[in-house]
Amino acid sequence: MILMNDFTAEPHELQEAMLTAVRRVLESGRYILGDEVLAFERHWASACGVRYGIGVGSGTDAIEISLRALEIGPGDEVVTSAMTAFATVLGIVRAGATPVLADIDPATALLSRASVERCLSSSTKAVLLVHLYGQMRTMDAWLALCKSHRVLLVEDCAQAHLSAWRGKGAGSFGAAGAYSFYPTKNLGAAGDAGMVVTDDKVLAQHAIRLRDYGQRVRFHHDEPGLNSRLDELHAAMLGERMKWLPQFTARRRQIAEAYRSGIRNTLVQLLEPPEESAAHVYHLFVITSPKRDALQTHLEKQGVLTLVHYPLPIHHQKPCRDLARDPQGLSCSERHASRCLSLPCHPQMSDNDVNKVIEAINGFR
């Protein structure tokens, strides 16, 4: 079987380095907010091209904390995509703000600027831009849109580790960027973890308080924050995994190139290729097909496991049915949800695996 992820197949050297890191933390006797977290925060912020990284408990928390640190909350609207992980919207709701759903551009499944403009109101405080599947596009246009409407740009970078647009990293464009290190992300922990990245010192200091019960000085609490701290154990392991990320990302791009040139089937469409190679880290390689469910069954019979990201657009999720949205509707998100399919695209795949996936797709009738 070709799997969507296979951590057991990772290089022995990496597994050994993670075990050494775990031992180092256990022997240090320091488990919360110590040197490992500080070091990983520094390394990851620098990889993103910003000054501050604040390690938190998850990507969802990173979104909530980013918004709260920007003083966005009750009564404020945040515009985001109807085609994203539920966690994107959950982070907005947890911050006390009101999500407003915009539609996607069908060629990329990324947020549509025209739709976002229809969603803006006098209560809009931010656009939460999701770098879906690992793609970054037209960041200059997003910055211009947010500037002209006087709203903040916040980036959901949960799928965009090391993605960059014209040499600038994901999370360095907006007021803040929210990363997840959920195990299956391109940089994943052995559990839950996340980070807020920003260049803004005041925002960073606020996020540092929010993740730690809202305390400024120990036992002196300014506001009801969260308990959402990145653990020393995860930080130490993430530091080791981060060393492998450039080569793992290069392998994802190779696999994507092979798919792009090898897949030939009139029942299958590819998303638009990135403008430059650094602008896509292929967290997911997504195709669309009018016969998606039959294709998924066919691939499984051929030994290829796939997933659907995501089978429901956000406004079809039970708690989101009444959310405000683009007055022209969200038909592109609905259509994408019914057609999209994510192919295996992880760094441990062999060339043989990749060819097997291509042949299985091309053999679908």
**Beta carbons within 8 Å of 173's beta carbon, 6+ residues apart:** 139, 142, 143, 153, 155, 165
State the Cα–Cα distance between residues 112 and 116, nearest whole angstrom.
6
Range 126-145, binding ligand PLP (CB under 6 A): 130
Is 85 a residue that touches ligand PLP (CB under 6 A)?
yes
User: Using the rule CB under 6 A, which residue among 134, 174, 194, 313 binds ligand PLP?
Assistant: 194
Is 87 a residue that touches ligand PLP (CB under 6 A)?
yes
User: Using the rule CB under 6 A, which residue among 60, 98, 112, 249 binds ligand PLP?
Assistant: 60
Of 88 and 98, CB closest to ligand PLP:
88
| CB-neighbour burial class of residue 261 (10 A; exposed 0-12, middle 13-18, buried 19+) | exposed
Contact criterion met (CB below 8 Å) for 142 and 113: yes
Of 129 and 357, CB closest to ligand PLP:
129
Q: What minimum distance in Å lies between the beta carbon of 33 and ligand PLP?
A: 19
User: Using the rule CB under 6 A, which residue among 142, 182, 259, 282 binds ligand PLP?
Assistant: 182
User: Using the rule CB under 6 A, which residue among 5, 66, 80, 84 binds ligand PLP?
Assistant: 84
Total chain residues near ligand PLP (CB under 6 A): 15
Q: Report the residue count for the chain.
A: 365
User: Using the rule CB under 6 A, which residue among 21, 44, 56, 59 binds ligand PLP?
Assistant: 59
> Which tokens go with 183?
């195990």
Is 5 a residue that touches ligand PLP (CB under 6 A)?
no
Binding residues for ligand PLP (CB under 6 A): 58-60, 84-85, 87-88, 130, 156, 158-159, 180, 182, 192, 194
